[in-house]
Amino acid sequence: MAIFEYAPAPESRDIADIKPSYGLFIDGEFVDGSGTPFKTVDPATEETLAEVATATSDDVDRAVRAARKAFGAWSGLPGVERAKYLFRIARIVQERSRELAVLESLDNGKPIRESRDVDLPLVAAHFFYYAGWADKLQYAGFGTKPLGVAGQVIPWNFPLLMLAWKVAPALACGNTVVLKPAETTPLTALLFAEICRQAELPPGVVNIVTGAGETGAAVVAHPEVDKVAFTGSTEVGRLIARTVAGTGKKVTLELGGKAANIVFDDAPIDQAVEGIVNGIFFNQGHVCCAGSRLLVQESVQEELLAALRRRLGTLRLGDPLDKNTDIGAINSAEQLARIRSLSEVGESEGAERWSPACELPERGYWFPPTIFTGVAQSHTIAREEIFGPVLSVLTFRTPAEAVEKANNTPYGLSAGIWTEKGSRILWMAERLRAGVVWANTFNKFDPASPFGGYKESGYGREGGLHGLEAYL
């Protein structure tokens, strides 16, 4: 129960200038799409934001041809010249970050505090970081020869950040790009197209084609695409792997996760609670590496859960543009239905469900922060990725049992360890089958640090020196 009532602190919508309709961005120009246009909606209110063009396979072909035509001159530039464009893009992103953050929160549903303080600074940082590599590729150890045209398909949970993760290294290495943003969150990608023009990036170096799954499939399957980069669900990742098998295309797949956040009895409880909340309720749990399984040592389970429930009682759910909001809207009606159905399965299989008293707005797609206790490893909610603000709590007694339970998943993207003992952190990290292991923190990202998974979480790495390999 809050002692003080918060006054609303809304960010102005007017900062983001949303056009009634958007075309495709091909060869430096906005052009009409040949498919049936679709609407993108604000998930907090269900109102239509804009109408967006759909790219057919013919439009994708035009975009790939434009990228192929631009490749010769772009890859022929000295790295130091390519770097100038990347630096320019990074600075424009910083200058327009308030506008981009508002647009991201309107289109995606995430709290403005997150898009403003997490997403946007990281977007700029990725362009700055890879700009620094553009003239130093000979020191990276992967050669200096770009691949050609990169076909990139990104998800709706971090629309602009995933764009930066993909576009920045591709351009730094001398490749050209055809990017397909998610159909529920195309607006910041289309504003990024304007930023490319503002930075005077040569036409055809970055092309953006909007649409649903068929558009993405056309990008992946196009014979002139040399490299495919995808972030999204494991099932779509499997389809992509099948499509490109035997074609000689280079592929990186960053797929689902079911991360274990492991709390030992000597962990600082309040710090761990903040890490658990950040691990699963950040971005409404729409995070591939979310700490969706809490593994807590039996002796501190009651104390930790009491503190966690108290903390959840202080989270504010509501208008994503309000600067006080902690939990925004679920991105789409389809995703909300999935979260609801998996939560019902959790209850029917015998886990105990708890949410803080929480008033949900009447319009929009909303789901309260939810904890399941009494979860067994065999439960669906402990195995399947829910991709929402839902935490499954399991217990363990020994470090060996914690490792066994943490690794008992088809995924292997991330993990968290909470303990005072440095030796235990290293012992655990060595044994956890996860691409990223956080120690006494969670969801910390840095452009210089590689990110990616094992098993059904995909293959390849993005970010850091390792992120160059996929584009050379």
Q: How far apart are CA 302 and CA 375, in angstroms?
A: 15
Q: Is residue 1 part of a domain?
A: no
Instruction: Indicate which CATH number applies to the domain containing 284.
Output: 3.40.309.10
Tokens (6 digits) for 60: 């994708």
**Of the candidates 164, 168, 145, 153, the residue with the CA atom closest to the CA atom of residue 71:** 145
Say if residues 392 and 372 touch (Cβ distance below 8 Å): yes
Q: Which helix (H) or strand (E) holds 165?
A: helix 159-172
For 416, the domain range is 260-439
Q: How far apart are CA 39 and CA 47, in angstroms?
A: 10
Asked if residue 319 and residue 270 are part of one domain, the reply reads yes
Tokens (6 digits) for 394: 């399991």
User: How is 279-316 classified by DSSP, letter by letter?
Assistant: HHHGGGG--TT---EEEEEGGGHHHHHHHHHHHHTT--
Say if residues 164 and 127 touch (Cβ distance below 8 Å): yes
Q: What is the pLDDT of residue 6?
A: 85
Q: What is the pLDDT of residue 374?
A: 98
Q: Is residue 372 part of a domain?
A: yes
Q: Is residue 446 part of a domain?
A: no
**Of the candidates 366, 379, 457, 447, the residue with the CA atom closest to the CA atom of residue 168:** 447
Tokens (6 digits) for 30: 């906005």
R_g (Cα) of the chain, nearest Å: 22
Token pair 């655990």: residue:
428
Tokens (6 digits) for 104: 């991201």
What are the helix and strand counts (H, E) for the chain?
16, 18
Token pair 């729409």: residue:
286
How far is C-alpha 354 from the geometric centre of its chain's CA atoms?
27
Q: Which amino acid is at 391?
A: L
Q: Is residue 426 part of a domain?
A: yes
Beta bridge partners of 41: 48
Q: Which of 104, 114, 183, 254 is catalytic?
A: 254
Tokens (6 digits) for 229: 């980069």
Q: What is the pLDDT of residue 4?
A: 75
Q: Give the Å distances, CA to CA, from 252 to 150, 281, 466.
A: 11, 27, 12
Asked if residue 280 and residue 174 are part of one domain, the reply reads no
Three-class secondary structure of residue 52 per DSSP: strand
Is residue 254 annotated as a catalytic residue, yes or no?
Answer: yes
Asked if residue 343 and residue 241 are part of one domain, the reply reads no
Q: Which amino acid is at 432?
A: L
Q: What is the pLDDT of residue 137?
A: 98
pTM: 0.97
Asked if residue 234 and residue 292 are part of one domain, the reply reads no
Instruction: Indicate which CATH number applies to the domain containing 82.
Output: 3.40.605.10
Say if residues 92 and 127 touch (Cβ distance below 8 Å): no
Q: Is residue 230 part of a domain?
A: yes
Q: Is residue 450 part of a domain?
A: no
Residue 57, CA atoms < 13 Å, CB-side half-sphere: 8
Beta bridge partners of 206: 177
Q: Find all residues with CB under 8 Å of 3, minimum gap 6, and list them.
A: none
Q: Residues 71, 148, 140, 163: is their CA dihedral positive or negative?
A: positive
DSSP state of 14: G
Asked if residue 358 and residue 271 are part of one domain, the reply reads yes
Q: Is residue 4 part of a domain?
A: no
Asked if residue 413 and residue 286 are part of one domain, the reply reads yes
Number of domains composing the chain: 2
Asked if residue 101 and residue 203 are part of one domain, the reply reads yes
**Of the candidates 135, 120, 199, 188, the residue with the CA atom closest to the CA atom of residue 159:** 188
Angle at 463 between CA 430 and CA 241, to 5 degrees: 85
Mode of pairing for the β-strands spanning 458-459 and 250-254: antiparallel
Name the packing angle between helices 234-244 and 213-221 (round to 10°): 30
Asked if residue 223 and residue 167 are part of one domain, the reply reads yes
pLDDT in tens, the chain (472 residues): 556 788 999 999 999 999 999 999 999 999 999 999 999 999 999 999 999 999 999 999 999 999 999 999 999 999 999 999 999 999 999 999 999 999 999 999 999 999 999 999 999 999 999 999 999 999 999 999 999 999 999 999 999 999 999 999 999 999 999 999 999 999 999 999 999 999 999 999 999 999 999 999 999 999 999 999 999 999 999 999 999 999 999 999 999 999 999 999 999 999 999 999 999 999 999 999 999 999 999 999 999 999 999 999 999 999 999 999 999 999 999 999 999 999 999 999 999 999 999 999 999 999 999 999 999 999 999 999 999 999 999 999 999 999 999 999 999 999 999 999 999 999 999 999 999 999 999 999 999 999 999 999 999 999 999 999 999 9
**Of the candidates 116, 112, 115, 120, the residue with the CA atom closest to the CA atom of residue 323:** 112
Q: How far apart are CA 254 and CA 232, in angstroms?
A: 7
Tokens (6 digits) for 148: 């050609």
Q: What is the pLDDT of residue 5?
A: 81
Q: Is residue 353 part of a domain?
A: yes
